[in-house]
């Protein structure tokens, strides 16, 4: 492969596209851990459900508006699933050991796998990007899909919206206060379970949104939950579990490592991703933007 400027820009854009999906999913994962102190193994399942719901909406509605409807409907549906999970399962185990939380949320992976198989079947599904996003633009002698640019732009807008939510709203102040000392906040009369529910629903919404955005770029099927879960955990660990800026930086690092790694040594592309995590953990075991557990 010739390493001209067009090729390098193409790899950068590909890395940013991959990083955008990872950021959207990992932001929800790290937000839930930061506030609820729960490592949600079922986060990838919510992402998978979002992709399947999006496929159903697009196939049932057809036409140009199917994707745009799915972009709204699927994350909302997954957010409702998240509300059921939080109220029915997690609220009972907030004070439990991490191993109990891991086992409970891992059990949800198995349950959701069977539910997805029952509802949508085991066959892979595919959908197309809307016509307005189906073309490409030329950079040098390379073509960059318009849809990739759309996903990158969407991720940047979402990052700005999340920052405003966390640092410029009343709910965000309560979320940050809950991270520091939930017991003190509850003593002041704040409804902590309601805050926890809101945070988990936001996290589920983000996972579902990631599923919608990835749907037109690959096959939708069983197993995609574990694939994204592994990468999202790597992003969260590199950035620091519970750190929103860390999720953004970690996603960028992994996206670039994967994009350039597939060209340098395709067989070791994922090895480069885990190598980045190992290096960060050696230098800062709590992640780039994380803090040591108190």
What does the alpha-carbon distance between residue 12 and residue 263 come to, in Å, rounded to a whole number? 12
Say which CATH class 5-283 falls into. Answer: mainly alpha
pLDDT of residue 294: 57
**Per-residue confidence in pLDDT tens, the chain, 294 aa:** 567 787 888 889 999 999 999 999 999 999 999 888 888 999 999 999 999 999 999 988 876 688 999 999 999 999 999 999 999 999 988 888 888 999 999 999 999 999 999 999 989 998 888 888 888 888 767 788 999 999 999 999 999 999 999 999 998 999 988 888 888 888 888 899 999 999 999 999 999 999 999 999 878 999 999 999 999 999 999 998 888 889 999 999 999 998 998 888 888 888 888 888 999 999 998 899 987 765
DSSP per-residue codes, 226-271 = HHHHHHHHHHHHHH-TT-HHHHHHHHHHHHHHHHHHHHH-GGGHHH
Give pLDDT, residue 98: 84
Q: What is the pLDDT of residue 1?
A: 56
């Amino acid at each position: 492969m010739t390493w001209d400027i067009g090729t390098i820009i193409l790899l950068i854009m590909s890395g940013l596209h991959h990083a955008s999906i990872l950021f959207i999913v990992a932001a929800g994962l790290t937000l839930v851990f930061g506030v609820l102190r729960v490592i949600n193994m079922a986060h990838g399942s919510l992402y998978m459900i979002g992709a399947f719901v999006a496929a159903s909406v697009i196939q049932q509605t057809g036409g140009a508006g199917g994707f745009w409807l799915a972009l709204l409907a699927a994350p909302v549906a997954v957010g409702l699933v998240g509300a059921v999970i939080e109220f029915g399962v997690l609220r009972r185990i907030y004070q439990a050991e991490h191993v109990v939380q891991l086992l409970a949320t891992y059990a949800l992976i198995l349950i959701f796998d069977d539910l997805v198989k029952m509802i949508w079947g085991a066959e892979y599904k595919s959908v197309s990007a809307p016509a307005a996003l189906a073309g490409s633009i030329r950079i040098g002698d390379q073509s960059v899909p318009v849809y990739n640019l759309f996903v990158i732009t969407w991720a940047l807008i979402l990052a700005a919206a999340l920052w405003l939510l966390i640092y410029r709203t009343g709910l965000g102040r309560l979320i940050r206060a809950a991270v520091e000392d939930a017991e003190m906040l509850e003593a002041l009369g704040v409804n902590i379970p309601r805050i926890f529910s809101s945070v988990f629903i936001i996290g589920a919404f983000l996972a579902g949104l990631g599923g919608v955005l990835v749907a037109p770029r690959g096959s939708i099927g069983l197993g995609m939950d574990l694939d994204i879960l592994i990468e999202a955990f790597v992003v969260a660990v590199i950035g620091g579990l519970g750190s929103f800026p860390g999720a953004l930086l970690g996603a960028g690092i992994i996206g670039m490592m994967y994009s350039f790694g597939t060209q340098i040594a395709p067989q070791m592309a994922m090895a480069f991703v885990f190598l980045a995590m190992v290096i960060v953990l050696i230098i800062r075991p709590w992640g780039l933007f994380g803090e040591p557990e108190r």
